[in-house]
Structure 1
Amino acid sequence: MPGPAEPDPPTFALDEVLGYLLGRVAHVLEHGFTDLMAAEGLTVRQFGILNHVARDPGIGSAEIARRLEITPQSMGDQVETLRRRGLVVRDPDPGPGRKIGVHLTEEGAAVLSRARRLAAAYERHTTGHLSAAERTRLAGDLHEILRRARAPLDGDA
């Protein structure tokens, strides 16, 4: 026989539900960022790929996929698109079981540099009201929320 039903949570304003508010903020930021990257002919994902390749020249597609939390197949398609545009090159095939490294081309580095400037301007526009300490705190809090959101619900609900 089931136990007594839990009471509904107290009434609250929807914008006070952090999951809802974060979803709205993410949606608006993502659309704004998508529009910015489109000015350089990039998707947000491609911007992330170029950043990882710039930071770790020779990184393999599988590692980038892991870092960006996308499938290796999707990553392969994205890297191929960037290669066809002349923004990245791949190492020659080293043989079975070996990674094929990805590197920025000169054009890729130029596109990434311009995209980073756009991203920095958007960051200043959207979060310029925060001090450096507040930005660090907010980033830390968001990372912790992300970590907890990925973990199984532990019954606190």
Structure 2
Amino acid sequence: MTANEELGVLIKETQAVLHQRMDEVLRPLGLTVPQYACLQALHDTPGITGSELARRVFVSRQSTNIVLQGLEKRGLITRSDDPGPRRERATVLTAPAVALLDDARSRVSSVANRMTGDLTRADTARLHALLTACRDALLT
């Protein structure tokens, strides 16, 4: 295996462990990682389209709709009955969702801090720049 291939495997392993640790801290809140990502995206980007939401949650549009249905059943989101200009229904967080999201963000932040705890600020900034460059190279 080449050094670049090993790096790709390491990135994937890191992502898998990060997902597992996030799942561990979110589970007591009754949230999955995709549900958390969905709530966060809806909070941070009001009016987000379904396609963009699916990209941010890293699941298909069909799976995003299933996540939204579950959040709606829990009373964490409301969706309008009338589709908007793009035939999409507006989705809004409820007050309980905002409170739950605050707790969830704190828990996820502790995981991220644990992941980067041994890095200096300069290391973290450099890692961010390098991973951004890697991602962007794959997007072109």
TM-score, L = length of structure 2: 0.84
Q: Report the counterpart of residue 44 of structure 1 in structure 2.
A: 33
* Residues 10-54 of structure 1: per-residue CA shift (max 9 Å, x gap): xx8xxx921222222222222111111112111111111111110
Separation in structure 2 between the aligned mates of residue 94 and residue 26 of structure 1, nearest angstrom = 35
Deviation at 1:136, TM superposition (A): 2.1
Q: Secondary structure at the match of 2:92?
A: strand
Q: How does 1:1-157 map to 2 (within 5 A)?
A: 17-94=6-83, 97-149=86-138
Deviation at 1:58, TM superposition (A): 3.1
Deviation at 1:149, TM superposition (A): 4.0
Structure 1 runs, 4 residues or longer, greater than 4 Å off: none
Q: More relative contact order in 1 or in 2 (CA 8 Å, sep 6+)? A: 2
% of aligned pairs identical?
32
Deviates more, 1:50-59 or 1:66-75: 66-75
- The alignment of Structure 1 onto Structure 2 pairs a total of residues equal to 139
Report if the CA contact (8 A) 1:61-1:101 is conserved: no
* Residues 60-95 of structure 1: per-residue CA shift (max 9 Å, x gap): 323311333422111111111111011111123136
Separation in structure 2 between the aligned mates of residue 52 and residue 68 of structure 1, nearest angstrom = 8
Structure with the bigger percentage of helix: 2
Structure 2, unaligned stretches of length 5 or more? none
Q: Secondary structure at the match of 1:92?
A: strand
> For residue 122 of structure 2, what is the amino acid of its counterpart?
A
Report if the CA contact (8 A) 1:65-1:71 is conserved: yes
Larger-Rg structure: 1
